[in-house]
Structures are given as structure tokens and as C-alpha cells.
């Protein structure tokens, strides 16, 4: 096994910033641990909850710290059983499982004398022991691994440490001490590490699934060796990957119907998603080859060929198109066609043909895919796309009607004390006081600082004292002030809010309580169907689609009152599709009404909602982009940060500009996961010349390199402020593609130029009439002299360049 043995002291991504994590106080002592035990351990199709670090501290039942707690709801009172103890907690992803003890010692300020004795680094009165409980969930064994460290204060600031361990399952709990813990088999530690790697990779890219107080560390990705070590761990778990859960946007797991055949989630699951995401980090392509070699060495020939195809798709540094095609050809010529694995391999070939514009051949092969996997959502979805690209919109509607859209009940979610309390106190002037906020969420002492992002918003706008996760990720309106919401057209508020019919149906389809306006179209089967139908409407026109709908489906009157021979054999339009058309019609009506009003003075929030809704309905793409740019620039000039607009613009830039840059162009119509570049496909379907001209206009009018770099810096800084030390997929994707397109020196220089252009400069003075001093007004600025975001971005470039040296 490859292990990270090289020194990482000089690397741009330190294994763990030596800074204090969030320090959130519980409403009731022990709530965080109690909720984890009773609710989070219920098996579900997910990678499990993030690690929990809980600190129990004695302050005295009569102390002001114990009695005064201003971030509570109603008349909450402390239990007598607390006996003067209070609890603090935060969550962790990406921590190396071999360094949990060191992490806790650093958290408590404990230093070793080198001879087995421990000492507190600070002098303060400690009356009783400190108890730290660290919980890490093993998604493969469905057990919570818990480390319990009790620190007894001694004389002269010394400390005595006692360690114990537990494995908490749904029905059974096992206890261990410092000696017996080594009896756990190596497989358990491999599973625990794989669980950690998956959560930091996937949860970091899904803010809606995150909890407040989450720290994401890059321990497993700081060097080429550590990347390969993480990849090796995931490859060893491939046969059990389905235990890590699967993306609900692919629909319910199914198979071809043969006895003993595996279901689609054996191959299409979160473990494979994480493995592909990890390979995409490596700009050299060496990790991809390492994964392929390990799969070949570990498993039988052909057993995981579909996984190899996914890895080849996102390889950088080398062209794997030939190897990709050879693998498909060899597999389909050697193994039976009517199996789940063959169906998925054939579907990959269809997607490759769509990228190369061989639409008729793709249609023929995709019909075969549907016959192999008749209940698979992706097969029917791709078949509908094939009909669209062949110009047969009527047949496309019939395929959409056949989509196995899943509607299910929302699962149990992790309790988030901060979200609950903040929401309940939203009617108060300050849901959380500035003092308490700074205690709960201290500024990270690590590069990435932008003063106007890290400090000013939380001083002047109390309603923004939270990260963009969970319910706040649903819609920009959730985090807007009352005044900002009032400035938005009530129809936009109704259709783009978290309570809109569209997002509620998507959430129900994905089996979650909430989805975001940013990603609802790739989080559920209903959302993907909405994305597909809106593409058909954009290409064919609403009126033609309605005529086709009436001609290919039975009408309500035909079913009830009229016996019409022409209706014999025509299918009925599914109720969910009827509802989808009604929702899309309302969205289109509001978007067209908003964009038709010229010279209208709007707020930044109004421009943002118009742009977001216009983009998902695929109407007037340039106007939607213009609205988004107006919103982001307006917010920036006003000293604010438009998170939703920034993310959407960078995703548009990735879809239209950067997706064509790469060594391997196996599939330029998909991104990681189920995301399909439908807007790109709409423009490209007109002609290649029209698409090329459209992209050139976008770069000229909106996406200059300086504009992209500026907002990439701000998004990366915002993430670091909320303890996401491992950058998101969007940040890494855009930055790595920029390096591929412009060279590292050009990108570094642009970062420095943008920083200098927007840096604060002292207002200059001059002499006026009669020798009086005349002070010029200070020019607008975005960066202070002390900001460290430039060093952080240059560190990311160095990190990617270091990974390229594999």
C-alpha cells in the first residue's frame, strides 16, 4: 500500500491548519452525542454523518458561564444532572484516522514533555476533568467508532490522560481500552479511512447536506503519495461500495432481470463517485493509471470495467480516448449483453456517441440499453435525449413519460442545533449576538483572509451570521433581509423560494427535506426530468410541445366521455408529468414577464432571482447571464458577497468555456455525477459555428480572465472562512482548467494583478485654495493590505502543480 511518507511541511495545503475549529455550545448538555446515537446510526443510502468532536467542560453550576447563555430558544433551563458541565461541539471531515489523538490534544492545548507526561500550554484554573468524545462513522459496518479521552488536571499545570474506545452499533456496543483496541482487524481501519475519504470528497461538494460547524481537512490529498494512498483504500472497498449509498438522481437500483445479476447500485454508488472525484484532482493522470492498475490486480478481468470507464472520462494529463473505446469494445465482445454491467457499459458508449454528434447510432444503441435495463432511469433519460437530438420531439415526450420518476418520503436528517435555534430566533433583532457568534466561529488563522468577507458582513448584517449550508443553501431569499425580499417581485419570490412547488417536488423525489435552486435539476429524478423537459421546450417552443403533447397522449375528455378510435393505443400522460408541465409553465410565464420589462430599476436580489430562474428554464440564456453578472457586480460594489450568483456564474463558465479544455474529450456533455450540460447542448444543437460564436461572446462580454479570477478568489475565501480547508470541486475544477488553458505563470500573474487593482489605498490629500488641505474621497476597494487570499490562491496553484509532478 502506498502511504504518505514524504514531508509535507512545505506543501501549500498543510495537513491541518493549526487553528481553532468552531466552538458551538449545546443548548442542553449532551444533546449532540444523544442525537447521534438515537438518530444518525439508522442505516440509510448515504455516506453517514460527519465526525463529531464533543468537549465536556466543568465551569460550576453557579458560574456566569453556566447560567448565561444567550443563544437559546424560549425558557430553556439546564438540567440538574448537568452539575455545572457545559458541552461544546463541532464536526470534522477528512481527518486522518491515525491522528485523532493528536487532534484532540491540540484542541485542548496539551503538549508532551517527551517522557510520557503531558502539560497544558496555557495557565488557567481547572477544577475538574475535561472529557472529549470523538465519533467517526464506519459506513460499511454501520458502526460509530468513538474515542473518549478524559484529562485530569494535576499540579503545576500537568495533566493525566485516560483513553477508552467504543464501537456503537444500532443493536450492540463494544468497549475497548488502550491495549485491546489493537485487536480490531485491519479491515475495520481501512473501512473507517474509506468512509472519511468519501465524506470529505462528496459532502464538501453538497452544501445542502452539510451541518453548521463542519471543518473539512485535506489530510488525504496533500501530496501525490497521499492521493494514491486514498485511491488504494477506495479501490479495496469496491465490492462493498453499495453500502456507502448511491445518488437518488439515478432512481431506484434495478437490474436486467436475470437471476443472480447485480443491481445498478453495485457499480453506480457514492464510493465510485468519490473515486472518480479523487482521480479528477490529479492533473497528471498518474492516479488514474494507478487506480486502473490496482483494479486489474485486485479483481477478476471485466468485473469493474464500468468503473474504469468513469475514471477514464475525467483523466487529465494524457489522452485516454483510445483506451476508453478499446475497453468498451473488449467488454461487449467478450461478455453477455443482457446483464446489468453490460447495460451500463453500453450506455456509456451512447453518451460518447452523443459527444461526437453521432445521434442516429446513439439512438439505436440506447434502445438496446432500455431493453437490457427496462427500469433504469438513466437509460430512459438518455433515450429521450437521443430522440431530441434527432429532432423527434414527439417520441422524446413519450420517453419522458416513461421515466421511472421516484417520489418517496423524506428520510430522517441529522439534528442541527444551530440551525434550529437560529431559525427560531429569527424574529429577534440579532438571532445570535456578535460576541457569541465570534466565540462559536473564530476566524481561521490560516491564509485565505478577505476582510470584507470575513468580518464586515457579520458585524453589520446579523441575519448573515451563518454558513451557506443546510436550509440556507435552498435559495438566496432564505438569507435575505426583509427589505431585500420586499424589493423582489412577489411572483419571483413565490417561484424561486425554498417553498416553491418545484423545489418541494424535487426534495420529495430525492428523499430529502430540501434542495437548492442551484442544483435541484441534478439532485433527483423529478429535477432531472424538469431539466430535460425545459430543454425540449427551449428547442421546440412551448406551443409546438403542447401540440405534440395533445397528439401523443390521451386527453382527459378522451378518457372519460368520448370513444375515439384514434386514441386507441395512445398512452396517458403520467400525473407527475402533468404537474411538471404546470410548474414549468408558471416558471416560464414569470421569466418572460420579468425579462420583457425594459429599463426597469431592480435591486441586486431581484436581478439574481431573475437570472437564476431564467437559467433553469433555459429562456434567453444571454439575458439570464447578464442578470446574474449585474447581481454579482452590484453586490460586490455594495460591499456584499453574492454566493449564489458567484457559484452559478462559475458553473456556467465551466459548462460553456472550460468543458472543452482537456486532454481527453470522451464526454464533454456531462460533469461529475449526473449533471448534464443541457444549456450547452441547446446552443450546440443549432450549429457548431453558432456555439463557437456564442462562447466567444460570453468570454468577451462577461467572462474575462480577470472577472473569473476575482470571483474565484472570493468564493475560495468564503469557503475557508467557514473552515472548508479542502477546496470544493468547483474551485478546483475552474482553477485546474485555467492552468491547463493559460499556464501557471499567467494565472499567478492574473491573481496578483487583480489583487493589486482592487486593493485598498489610503486617500491622498492635496492643497486647495488659500493653502487649505483637500482630502480626496477613498476609491472603492475589495482587498485590504493585510488580506492573505492571494497567498492562499497561489498556494492552490502550487498544490496542483505539485500533484502534476507525479
Nearest residue to 651 via CA among 674, 625, 631, 626 = 625
Classify burial at 785, counting beta carbons within 10 Å of its beta carbon; exposed 0-12, middle 13-18, buried 19 or more.
Answer: exposed
**How high does pLDDT run on average in the chain?**
88
> pLDDT digits over 157-208, tens only?
788 899 999 999 888 899 999 899 999 999 999 999 999 999 999 998 899 9
Nearest residue to 448 via CA among 145, 116, 667, 218 = 218
Residue 83 pLDDT class (50, 70, 90 cuts): confident
Q: What are phi and psi of 638, to 5 degrees?
A: -85, 5
Q: Return d(Cα 190, Cα 237) in angstroms, integer.
A: 9
Tell me how many degrees the CA angle 55-60-63 measures, rounded to the nearest 5: 110
Q: What is the pLDDT of residue 10?
A: 37
pLDDT for 8 beyond 80? no
Classify burial at 364, counting beta carbons within 10 Å of its beta carbon; exposed 0-12, middle 13-18, buried 19 or more.
Answer: exposed
Query: 380 and 402 in contact (C-beta within 8 Å)?
Result: yes
Contacts of 499 (CB under 8 A, 6+ apart): none
Query: 425 and 431 in contact (C-beta within 8 Å)?
Result: yes
What is the 3-class SS of 3-56, one letter each residue?
Answer: CCCCCCCCCCCCCCCCCCCCCEECCCCCHHHHHHHHHHCCCCCCCCCCEEEEEE
Q: What is the pLDDT of residue 38?
A: 59
Summarize the confidence of residues 423-428 as an average pLDDT: 82
Classify burial at 647, counting beta carbons within 10 Å of its beta carbon; exposed 0-12, middle 13-18, buried 19 or more.
Answer: buried
pLDDT for 335 beyond 70? yes
3-state secondary structure of 680: helix
Cell triple for 709: 479570477
Contacts of 601 (CB under 8 A, 6+ apart): none
Query: 220 and 96 in contact (C-beta within 8 Å)?
Result: yes
3-state secondary structure of 518: coil
Nearest residue to 108 via CA among 93, 124, 96 = 124
Contacts of 790 (CB under 8 A, 6+ apart): 713, 751, 752, 755, 783
66-80, 264-278, 495-509, 661-675 — which is least confidently predicted?
66-80
Summarize the confidence of residues 403-407 as an average pLDDT: 86
Give the helix ranges, DSSP H, for 269-339: 270-281, 286-298, 305-313, 321-334
Summarize the confidence of residues 433-455 as an average pLDDT: 94
Give the DSSP letter of residue 263.
Answer: P
pLDDT for 121 beyond 90? no
pLDDT for 559 beyond 70? no
Q: What is the pLDDT of residue 457?
A: 92
Percent of the chain beyond pLDDT 90? 64
Nearest residue to 252 via CA among 533, 579, 511, 531 = 511
Q: Return d(Cα 220, Cα 224) in angstroms, integer.
A: 10
Torsional class of 601: left (φ above 0), alpha (ψ -120 to 50), beta (otherwise): beta
pLDDT for 358 beyond 50? yes
Please give the C-alpha separations between residue 315 and each of 67, 324, 352, 450, 564, in angstroms, as whole numbers: 57, 11, 15, 33, 56
Q: What is the pLDDT of residue 110?
A: 85
Q: Return d(Cα 396, Cα 391) in angstroms, integer.
A: 9
**Residue carrying C-alpha cell 451570521:** 465
Cell triple for 17: 491548519
Cell triple for 154: 494535576
Q: What are phi and psi of 631, to 5 degrees?
A: -65, -45
Q: Return d(Cα 651, Cα 531) in angstroms, integer.
A: 16
pLDDT for 3 beyond 50? no
What is the 3-class SS of 739-769, one letter each residue?
Answer: HHHHCHHHHHHHHHHHHHHCECCCCCEEECH
Q: What is the pLDDT of residue 764?
A: 60
Q: Return d(Cα 629, Cα 636) in angstroms, integer.
A: 10
Query: 222 and 11 in contact (C-beta within 8 Å)?
Result: yes
Residue 5 pLDDT class (50, 70, 90 cuts): very low
pLDDT for 468 beyond 70? yes
Q: What are phi and psi of 84, to 5 degrees?
A: 85, 5
Query: 642 and 608 in contact (C-beta within 8 Å)?
Result: yes
Q: Return d(Cα 17, Cα 29) in angstroms, integer.
A: 28
Q: What is the pLDDT of residue 270?
A: 96
Q: What is the pLDDT of residue 317?
A: 74
Within 13 Å and on the Cβ side, how many CA atoms surround 269?
27
Q: Return d(Cα 100, Cα 91) in angstroms, integer.
A: 13
Q: Return d(Cα 290, Cα 288) in angstroms, integer.
A: 5
First-to-last C-alpha distance (Å) of the chain? 16
3-state secondary structure of 347: helix
pLDDT for 219 beyond 50? yes
Q: What is the pLDDT of residue 771?
A: 57
Neighbours of 181 (CB within 10 A): 16
Q: What are phi and psi of 52, to 5 degrees?
A: -115, 130
Percent of the chain beyond pLDDT 70? 89
Q: Return d(Cα 317, Cα 405) in angstroms, integer.
A: 38
Residue 671 pLDDT class (50, 70, 90 cuts): confident
3-state secondary structure of 481: coil
Q: What is the pLDDT of residue 120?
A: 81
Tell me how many degrees the CA angle 167-206-137 measures, rounded to the nearest 5: 5
Summarize the confidence of residues 757-764 as an average pLDDT: 80
Q: What is the pLDDT of residue 777?
A: 63
pLDDT for 761 beyond 90? no
Which residues on adjacent β-strands are paired with residue 554?
572
Q: What is the pLDDT of residue 43?
A: 59
Q: Which has the higher per-residue pLDDT, 533 or 120?
A: 533
Summarize the confidence of residues 773-782 as an average pLDDT: 70
Confidence (pTM): 0.93
Within 13 Å and on the Cβ side, how many CA atoms surround 221?
28
Summarize the confidence of residues 782-804 as an average pLDDT: 93
380-394, 485-499, 739-753 — which is least confidently predicted?
485-499
Classify burial at 761, counting beta carbons within 10 Å of its beta carbon; exposed 0-12, middle 13-18, buried 19 or more.
Answer: exposed
Tell how many helices (H) and how many strands (E) occur in the chain.
Answer: 33, 12
SS3 content of the chain, % helix, strand, coil (to 5): 55, 10, 35
Q: Which has the higher per-residue pLDDT, 20 or 531?
A: 531
Q: What is the pLDDT of residue 387?
A: 98
**Residue carrying C-alpha cell 447485480:** 262
pLDDT for 657 beyond 50? yes
27-31, 294-298, 438-442, 757-761 — which is least confidently predicted?
27-31
Q: What is the pLDDT of residue 1?
A: 32
Query: Which range among 112-126, 248-262, 763-777, 781-795 has the greatest average pLDDT?
Result: 781-795
Residue 714 pLDDT class (50, 70, 90 cuts): very high
pLDDT for 322 beyond 50? yes
Distance of alpha carbon 189 from the chain centroid: 26
Per-position b or e across 536-562, b if 16+ CB within 10 A of its CB: bbbbbebeebeebbeebbbeeebeeee
Nearest residue to 209 via CA among 50, 24, 321, 60 = 50
Please give the C-alpha separations between residue 622 and each of 11, 287, 461, 606, in angstroms, as whole numbers: 41, 38, 32, 17
Residues written for the chain = 806
Residue 511 pLDDT class (50, 70, 90 cuts): confident
Q: What is the pLDDT of residue 41?
A: 66
Contacts of 85 (CB under 8 A, 6+ apart): 29, 56, 57, 58, 59
Query: 600 and 623 in contact (C-beta within 8 Å)?
Result: no
Q: What is the pLDDT of residue 406?
A: 78
Query: 628 and 612 in contact (C-beta within 8 Å)?
Result: yes
Residue 503 pLDDT class (50, 70, 90 cuts): very high
Q: Return d(Cα 399, Cα 363) in angstroms, integer.
A: 12
Q: What is the pLDDT of residue 122?
A: 75
**Residue carrying C-alpha cell 475544477:** 733
Query: Which range among 81-85, 156-160, 495-499 has the greatest average pLDDT?
Result: 495-499
Q: Return d(Cα 589, Cα 597) in angstroms, integer.
A: 13
275-289, 547-561, 586-600 — which is least confidently predicted?
547-561
Amino acid at each position: 500500500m502506498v502511504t504518505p511518507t514524504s514531508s509535507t511541511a512545505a506543501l501549500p495545503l498543510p495537513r491541518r491548519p493549526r487553528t481553532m475549529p468552531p466552538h458551538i455550545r449545546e443548548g442542553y448538555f449532551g444533546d449532540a452525542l444523544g442525537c447521534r446515537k438515537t438518530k444518525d446510526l439508522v442505516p440509510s443510502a448515504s455516506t453517514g454523518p460527519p465526525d463529531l468532536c464533543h468537549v465536556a467542560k466543568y465551569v460550576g453550576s453557579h458560574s456566569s458561564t453556566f447560567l448565561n447563555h444567550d443563544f437559546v430558544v424560549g425558557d430553556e433551563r439546564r438540567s440538574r444532572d448537568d452539575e455545572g458541565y457545559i458541552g461544546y461541539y463541532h464536526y470534522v471531515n477528512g481527518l486522518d484516522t491515525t491522528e485523532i489523538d493528536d487532534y484532540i490534544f491540540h484542541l485542548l492545548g496539551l503538549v508532551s514533555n517527551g517522557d510520557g507526561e503531558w502539560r497544558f500550554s496555557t495557565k488557567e484554573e481547572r477544577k475538574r476533568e475535561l472529557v472529549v468524545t470523538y465519533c467517526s462513522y464506519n459506513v460499511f459496518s454501520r458502526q460509530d467508532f468513538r474515542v473518549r479521552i478524559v484529562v485530569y488536571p494535576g499540579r503545576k499545570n500537568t495533566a493525566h490522560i485516560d483513553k477508552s474506545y467504543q464501537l456503537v452499533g444500532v443493536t450492540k456496543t463494544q468497549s475497548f481500552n488502550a491495549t485491546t483496541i489493537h485487536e480490531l482487524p485491519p479491515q475495520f481501519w481501512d473501512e473507517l479511512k474509506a468512509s472519511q475519504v468519501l465524506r470529505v470528497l462528496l459532502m464538501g461538494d453538497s452544501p445542502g447536506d452539510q451541518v453548521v460547524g463542519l471543518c473539512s481537512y485535506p489530510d488525504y490529498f496533500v501530496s501525490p503519495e497521499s492521493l494514491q494512498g486514498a485511491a488504494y483504500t477506495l479501490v479495496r472497498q469496491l465490492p462493498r461500495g453499495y453500502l456507502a449509498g448511491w445518488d437518488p438522481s439515478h432512481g431506484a437500483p434495478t437490474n436486467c432481470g436475470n437471476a443472480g445479476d447485480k443491481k445498478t447500485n453495485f457499480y453506480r454508488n457514492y464510493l465510485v463517485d468519490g473515486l472518480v472525484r479523487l482521480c479528477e484532482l490529479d492533473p497528471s493522470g498518474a492516479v488514474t493509471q494507478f487506480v486502473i492498475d490496482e483494479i486489474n490486480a485486485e479483481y477478476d478481468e471485466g468485473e469493474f470495467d464500468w468503473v474504469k470507464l468513469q475514471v477514464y472520462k475525467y483523466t487529465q494529463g494524457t489522452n485516454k480516448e483510445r483506451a476508453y473505446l478499446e475497453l468498451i469494445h473488449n467488454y461487449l465482445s467478450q461478455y453477455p449483453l443482457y446483464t446489468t454491467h453490460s447495460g451500463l457499459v453500453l450506455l456509456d458508449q451512447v453518451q460518447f456517441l452523443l459527444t461526437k454528434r453521432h445521434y442516429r447510432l446513439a439512438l439505436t444503441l440506447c434502445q438496446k440499453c432500455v431493453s437490457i435495463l427496462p427500469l433504469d432511469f438513466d437509460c430512459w433519460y438518455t433515450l429521450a435525449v437521443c430522440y431530441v437530438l434527432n429532432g423527434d420531439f414527439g417520441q422524446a415526450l413519450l420517453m419522458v413519460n416513461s421515466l421511472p420518476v421516484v417520489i418517496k418520503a423524506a428520510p430522517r436528517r441529522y439534528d442541527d442545533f444551530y440551525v434550529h435555534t437560529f431559525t427560531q430566533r429569527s424574529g429577534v433583532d440579532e438571532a445570535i449576538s456578535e460576541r457569541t457568534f465570534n466565540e462559536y466561529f473564530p476566524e481561521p488563522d490560516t491564509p485565505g483572509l478577505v476582510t470584507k468577507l470575513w468580518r464586515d458582513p457579520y458585524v453589520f448584517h446579523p441575519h448573515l451570521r451563518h454558513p451557506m449550508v443546510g436550509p440556507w443553501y435552498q435559495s438566496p431569499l432564505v438569507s435575505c433581509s426583509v427589505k431585500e425580499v420586499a424589493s423582489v417581485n412577489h411572483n419571483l419570490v413565490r417561484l424561486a423560494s425554498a417553498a416553491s412547488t418545484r423545489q418541494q417536488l424535487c426534495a420529495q423525489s430525492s428523499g430529502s427535506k430540501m434542495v437548492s435552486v442551484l442544483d435541484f435539476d441534478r439532485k433527483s429524478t423529478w429535477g432531472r426530468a424538469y431539466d430535460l423537459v425545459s430543454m425540449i421546450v427551449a428547442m421546440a417552443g412551448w406551443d409546438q410541445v403542447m401540440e405534440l403533447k395533445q397528439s401523443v397522449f390521451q386527453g382527459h375528455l378522451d378518457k372519460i366521455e368520448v370513444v375515439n378510435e384514434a386514441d386507441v393505443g395512445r398512452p396517458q400522460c403520467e400525473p407527475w408529468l402533468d404537474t411538471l408541465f404546470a410548474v414549468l409553465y408558471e416558471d416560464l410565464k414569470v421569466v418572460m414577464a420579468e425579462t420583457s420589462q425594459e429599463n426597469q430599476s431592480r435591486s441586486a436580489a431581484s436581478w439574481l432571482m431573475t437570472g437564476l430562474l431564467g437559467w433553469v428554464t433555459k429562456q434567453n440564456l444571454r439575458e439570464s447571464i447578464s442578470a446574474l453578472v449585474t447581481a454579482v457586480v452590484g453586490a460586490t460594489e455594495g460591499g456584499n458577497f453574492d454566493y449564489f450568483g458567484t457559484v452559478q456564474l462559475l458553473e456556467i463558465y465551466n459548462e460553456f468555456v472550460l468543458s472543452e479544455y482537456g486532454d481527453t474529450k470522451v464526454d464533454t456533455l456531462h460533469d461529475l455525477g449526473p449533471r448534464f450540460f443541457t444549456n450547452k447542448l441547446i446552443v450546440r444543437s443549432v450549429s457548431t459555428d453558432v456555439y463557437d460564436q456564442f462562447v466567444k461572446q460570453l468570454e468577451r462580454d462577461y467572462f474575462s480572465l480577470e472577472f473569473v479570477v476575482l470571483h474565484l478568489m472570493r468564493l475560495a475565501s468564503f469557503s475557508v472562512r467557514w473552515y472548508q480547508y479542502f477546496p470544493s470541486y468547483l474551485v478546483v475544477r475552474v482553477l485546474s482548467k485555467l492552468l491547463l488553458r493559460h499556464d501557471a505563470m499567467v494565472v499567478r500573474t492574473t491573481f496578483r494583478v487583480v489583487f493589486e487593482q482592487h486593493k485598498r489605498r489610503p486617500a491622498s490629500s492635496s492643497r486647495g485654495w488659500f493653502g487649505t488641505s483637500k482630502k480626496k474621497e477613498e476609491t472603492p476597494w475589495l482587498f485590504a493590505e493585510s488580506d492573505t487570499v492571494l497567498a492562499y490562491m497561489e498556494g492552490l496553484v502550487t498544490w496542483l502543480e505539485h500533484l502534476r509532478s507525479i
